[in-house]
Chains A and B, each alone.
Chain A
Amino acid sequence: MANAYTLDFEKPLLELERQIDELKRVGEERDIDVAEELKALQAKLESLREDLYRNLTPMQRVSVARHPKRPYTLDYLGSIFTDFVELHGDRLYRDDLAIVGGWARLGGTSVMVIGHQKGRDTRENIKRNFGMPHPEGYRKALRLMKLAARFQAPVVTLIDTPGAYPGLGAEERGQSEALATNILEMAMLPTPIITVVIGEGGSGGALALGVADRVLMFENSVYSVISPEGCAAILWKDASQRERAAFALKLTGADLQSFKVIDEIVPEPVGGAHQDPDAAGEALREALIRHVAELKKVRPEKLVRRRGEKYAGMGVYSEA
C-alpha cells in the first residue's frame, strides 16, 4: 500500500512495501503460496518502521506532525466525540473556517471542542486557509469558551496550525489583540480547559487556543515559538537550515515535558497517527476522559488560581 505522501525518511519503507506488493502479485498470478515470505517481509517492514520512528530527528518529527494524512480536529470530532453540533462565527465579522468548534459529548460529559482545522487538498485548504486563522477565528473560539464556562462545561482545544495568518486583513482587524485577548481570557476562564497539540503547534496562533489546566501533546506533534524554517531564515538567512533550527528549538513533546510546559505525551501508533487513526483516537479519548474527570472535581476559582500559578512558574532565569 504505497501511499502518495511518503516522507523523505520513509523512503526505505517504500522499497519494502513495493516488494511486498510485488510478491503478492506474483503469488496470485502463479497461484503459489507466498505466505511465509510475505510474513517475513512484513515483519521486516514493521521493525524497520519502528526503528525509524524510534529515532526520529526533530525535523523528521515536524514532517510527521505536518503529514497531509494526519487526523485533524474534525476527524477526532467524528471518531471519539458524539453528538457534535458545530457553532459558527464570531458574531462580529464572519465565520473563520480555519477554526472549528461546538458542543460535543465525550463519554458521558458535554464539552466544548475547539480546534484548528487544516484542509486535505488544495480546494479544502483554501477554504480552511491551511489552518491559519484570522482574528475572527480566535474571537469565535473565545465566544465558545465563554459559552462553555457559563454552562460549566469543560473546554477541549485541539491545536494544529502553522500559526496565526500573517496577512493584510488579519492585521487590520487586530490579530495581536485577538491573540492577546484569548491568552488572557483563557488564563481566567472559570471552567476546566484541556489542550492537546495534535499536529503543529505554531507559536502565538497555537497559544491563543492553548492556555489550559492540562496541556497534552501527541507523540509526533511539535510545539514551537517559531517554525524551523522561520528560525533558520532569521538566524542564518537560510531557510534550508531547518534541520539545524529544529534541533536547536527543542520542539518535541519530550523537550516540552522536560521544561514542564506540557503535562503528558499521548502515544501514537508506530508510523504516526495517520497509520492507524482509530488507535490514535482511542489513546486521545482515554486521556481526555481521565483529565476531564479529574478537573471536574476542582472548584472553578481554585482551577483558575492553580492555572495562574502554573504559568507563573514557567521560564528559566537566575537571580544575581
Chain B
Amino acid sequence: MAWFKKERKARISQRTKLEIPKDAWERCESCGHVDIRERFERAFNVCGECGHHRRFSAEEYIELLTDAGTWRELFGNLRSQDPLKFENYADRLALAMKKAGTSDAVYTGFGRLEGLPYHIGVMNFAFMGGSMGSVVGEKIARLARRSVDKRLPLVIVCTSGGARMQEGVLSLMQMAKTSATIGVLKAEAIPFITILTNPTTGGVSASFAMQGDAILAEPGAVIGFAGQRVIKQTIGQDLPEGFQTAEFLVEHGQIDDVVPRGSLRETTARILRHMLGHGAAIPPAAQTLS
C-alpha cells in the first residue's frame, strides 16, 4: 500500500500551498466583517456588510477621480520649512515624508473626469494628519489661481485634523490665503466642488472645505470645526450619537449631500457638467478637442 502513503503526503503539501497569506484578509473596523482584501479593494475599501467607508489613500482618490492616464501633478516641488524653529518639527517633517512617501499633506494637479479637464487637489491624511501649513495653503491657492487662469473647474478632496500647529500663526493665515483665492474663483464663476472625507475638521473645515459650490461628503465622515474631545470637555456631557457625521451635517443643512464612494466619480462629474452648462456627458469624440 505504498501509493496510499504517497498520496497522503502530496495532499498535505497541497494544503500548505493553498493556505492564504495572513495579510490577504481584512476585517472591517466597524462591524467586524472579515473578507479577502481584494474584495474590499474592488469596493473602494467600503465594507460590503455594513457600508463602512474605510481609509482610502490620497493616491486611491486620484485614481478614482481621474480618467486613466490623465493625472499630471502640479506644484509637487513645494517643501515645508520650519519658520518658527518649533521643537521637533524638522524631525517630524522628515519622518512624515519617509512614512507617507510624499512631500506634504496635499496633492495638486490636472486630470480629466469623464473627459472633462479639471484641477484636483487631494489631501493626504497619512502626512501629519492632513494638517494645513504653508505648503498645503500655497498649493491649494496656486491650484485655485491656475483654475481661474485656465478657466478649469476645481475639485478638492478634503481630509485634515486642522491647521499645522508647528507653523503657528502662519498656518492660521493659510485659511485666509486659500479663502481669498477661492473668493476670486467664485467671482469668476469657476465651478468648485469639495468632497469631505473622514475626518475634515479645524482650519480646513473652517476655510476652503466649506466654500464649495457643492459640498459632498462620504458616509460616516466626521466633519466639524471643534474636536469632539474639546467639545466634551467644554460642555461636560457626552455627545449625541452620530454627532458631526456627514449624515448629521446634511440633516442640519450644512452640506449638499452624502455620497457613497462608489458614486463619487459620477456625481462629481454630473454636477460639474451642470455648472459648466453642458448637461450631458462629453461625447468621446469631443474629448480630444477640449
The chain A residues found within 8 Å of chain B, CB to CB, are: 164-168, 170-177, 179-181, 183-185, 187-188, 203-204, 207-208, 211, 223-226, 230-231, 234-235, 248-251, 255-256, 259, 261, 307-308, 311-312, 314-320
Contacts and interface: CB of A to CB of B under 8 A. Distances in A.
Given A171-B243, A207-B175, A188 B208 contact: no
B268 interface: no
A308 B244 contact: no
Measured as residues with beta carbon below 8 angstroms from the partner, the interface class of chain B is 35 or more
B235 A176 contact: no
B179 interface: yes
Given A204-B206, A226-B165, A250-B84, A312 B141 contact: yes
Interface in B234-254: 234-235, 239-240, 243-244, 248, 252-254
A173 B187 CA distance: 26
Nearest to B231: A166
Contacts of B78: 317-320
Given A180-B179, A180-B205, A312-B180, A171 B87 contact: no
22 contacts: A168-B240, A176-B210, A176-B225, A179-B225, A183-B179, A184-B179, A184-B207, A207-B175, A207-B176, A225-B168, A248-B86, A249-B84, A307-B180, A308-B183, A311-B176, A311-B177, A311-B180, A317-B80, A317-B81, A317-B135, A318-B79, A320-B103
The 6 closest A-B pairs by CB, nearest first: A315-B134, A166-B226, A187-B180, A180-B210, A179-B206, A316-B83
A311 B244 CA distance: 30
B137 interface: yes
Given A307-B180, A315-B167, A315-B174, 12 more contacts: A172-B252, A180-B205, A183-B176, A184-B179, A211-B176, A261-B169, A308-B180, A314-B174, A316-B83, A317-B79, A317-B138, A320-B78
B272 interface: no
Contacts of A180: 175, 179, 205-211
Contact of A204 (B183, B203, B211): B203
Contact of B226 (A170, A177, A208, A211): A170
B224 interface: yes
Interface of chain B, main secondary structure? helix
B169 A250 contact: yes
A316 B173 CA distance: 11
Interface in B158-200: 163, 165, 167-177, 179-184, 186-187
Interface string B140-153: 01000000000000
A174 B183 CA distance: 19
A184 B141 CA distance: 13
A169 to B, nearest CB: 10
Contacts of A308: 180-181, 183-184
B140 to A, nearest CB: 11
Nearest to B173: A314
In this complex, the member of A181, A248, A255, A261 whose beta carbon has the largest number of chain B beta carbons within 10 angstroms is: A248
B263 interface: no
B223 interface: yes
B225 A170 contact: yes
Interface string B201-238: 01101111111000000000001111100110011000
B14 interface: no
Interface in B51-67: none
Given A308-B180, A318-B81, A166 B206 contact: no
B79 A320 contact: yes
Contacts of A166: 225-227, 230-231, 234
B77 interface: yes
Contacts of A208: 206
Contact of B205 (A165, A176, A203, A316): A176
B210 A171 contact: no
Given A225-B168, A320-B77, A175 B225 contact: yes
A1 B244 CA distance: 50
B249 to A, nearest CB: 8
Given A177-B254, A312-B141, A168 B239 contact: yes
A201 to B, nearest CB: 8
A179 B209 CA distance: 11
Contacts of B226: 164, 166-167, 170-171, 175
Contacts of A225: 163, 165, 167-169, 171-172, 203
Nearest to B75: A319
